[in-house]
Amino acid sequence: MGAEIDLAGFTFVVILNLGITLAELIGGIIAGSLALISDSAHNFSDALSLILSYVAERVSKKPKNYRKTFGYKRANIIAAFFNSSTLLVIGGLLTMEAIRRFFEPVSINTNVVLVVGTIGLIANLLSMIMLKKWSKESLNIRSAYLHMLMDSLSSIAVLIGAVVIKIYGLKFLDSVVTILIALYVVKEAIEIFNASLSILMESTPAGFDVENISSQLLRNPVIKDIHHIHIWALDERNILFEGHVNLKEDVKLSDAMRIYNEIKSELEKFGINHVTIQFEFNGCKDTGLISCS
Ligand SMILES: [Zn+2]
Ligand SMILES: [Zn+2]
Here the ipTM equals 0.72
- Which residues neighbour ligand 1 (ion) by CB within 5 Å? 46, 151
Give the CA distances from residue 226 to residues 206, 212, 277, 280, in Å, rounded to whole numbers and listed in that order: 21, 12, 10, 10
**pLDDT at 1 (0 to 100):** 37
Beta-carbon contacts of 31 under 8 Å, excluding residues fewer than 6 positions away, are 108, 109, 110, 111, 112, 113, 116
Distance from the CA of 201 to the center of ligand 2, in angstroms?
23
* Amino acid at residue number 218: L
By C-alpha distance, which of 171, 47, 56, 169 is closest to 102?
A: 171
Q: Render pLDDT for 136-189 as a digit per residue (tens, 0 to 9).
A: 655 556 666 777 777 788 888 888 888 888 888 888 888 888 888 888 878 878
Whether residue 183 contacts residue 208, with contact meaning beta carbons closer than 8 Å, is answered with no
Q: Which ligand is nearest to the CA of 284?
A: 2
Amino acid found at 142: R
Nearest ligand for residue 245 CA:
2
Residue 42's CB: how many other CB atoms inside 10 A? 28
Q: What angle do CA 171, 172, 174 make, to 5 degrees?
A: 80
Residues of the chain with pLDDT below 50 are 1-3
Say how many Å lie between the CA of residue 59 and the centre of ligand 2.
36
How far apart, in whole angstroms, are the C-alpha atoms of residue 185 and residue 99? 17
Helices 34-60 and 110-134 sit at what angle, rounded to 10 degrees? Answer: 20
* pLDDT for the residue 161: 87
Residue type, 270: F
Domains and CATH numbers, the chain: 7-200 (1.20.1510.10), 210-280 (3.30.70.1350)
Give the burial string for 167-178 (b: 16+ CB within 10 Å, else e). Answer: eeeebebbbbbb
127: helix, strand or coil? helix
Ligand 2 center to residue 247 CA distance, Å? 11
Do 208 and 241 meet the contact criterion of CB atoms below 8 Å apart?
Answer: no
So what's the pLDDT on residue 287? 78
Task: Look at phi and psi of residue 71 and say left if phi exceeds 0, alpha if psi is from -120 to 50, else beta.
Answer: left
What separation in Å is there between the alpha carbon of 181 and the centre of ligand 2?
A: 51
Sheet with 239-247: strands ordered across: 223-233, 239-247, 274-280
Among the bound ligands, name the one nearest to the CA of residue 46.
1
Alpha carbons 166 and 110: distance in angstroms, whole number: 6
What is the model's pLDDT at position 79? 80
Cα first-last separation, the chain: 44
Q: How many A from CA of 205 to the centre of ligand 1?
A: 26
Query: Ligand 2 centre and the CA of 64: distance in Å?
Result: 29
Q: Are 160 and 201 in contact (CB under 8 A)?
A: no
